[in-house]
Amino acid sequence: MHHTAAEGRSHYLRQSLLAIGIAAASLTALVYLTYRLPPEGLPLALFFLLLFCGVAGLFAPLMLWVHRRLVMSRRLPASAWRPIRWSAWAGLLAAILAWLQFIRLLNVVSAVLFLLILSLVEWLITSKRH
């Protein structure tokens, strides 16, 4: 099945708007949670979940655009899940770094280390499929 360029742009726009909506809802709930509830127990776990969803939703339109450009330039094969996975890595990294900051272990070395670990996992996933 071959899609026209207009259908591709429409699909890209729908995905981007959905991701931005998820990000807006998550970040709004995150702000409410931060100001209204103490950082312990369930609210703390919810904080990290909302942070993950918010950051992943914010990164999704960018990752969709980058993926589309790389596919169009034939540098990457098309994959429906790759930009979603890239966005999820950004959300996961944000949640991990926030948790490290919460327990006062965040520094430049740990941030770079987790970035490298997630990059390695993505590389392994991508190289396994080729």
Residue range 12-68, pLDDT digits in tens: 888 899 999 999 999 999 999 999 999 899 999 999 999 999 999 999 999 999 888
Q: What angle do CA 54, 58, 60 make, to 5 degrees?
A: 115
Question: pLDDT digits over 90-115, tens only?
Answer: 999 999 999 999 999 999 999 999 99
Question: Radius of gyration over alpha carbons of the chain, in Å?
Answer: 17
How much is the pLDDT for 80?
81
Please give the C-alpha separations between residue 15 and each of 8, 23, 32, 33, in angstroms, as whole numbers.
11, 12, 26, 27
Q: What's the pTM value of the predicted model, to 2 decimals? A: 0.85
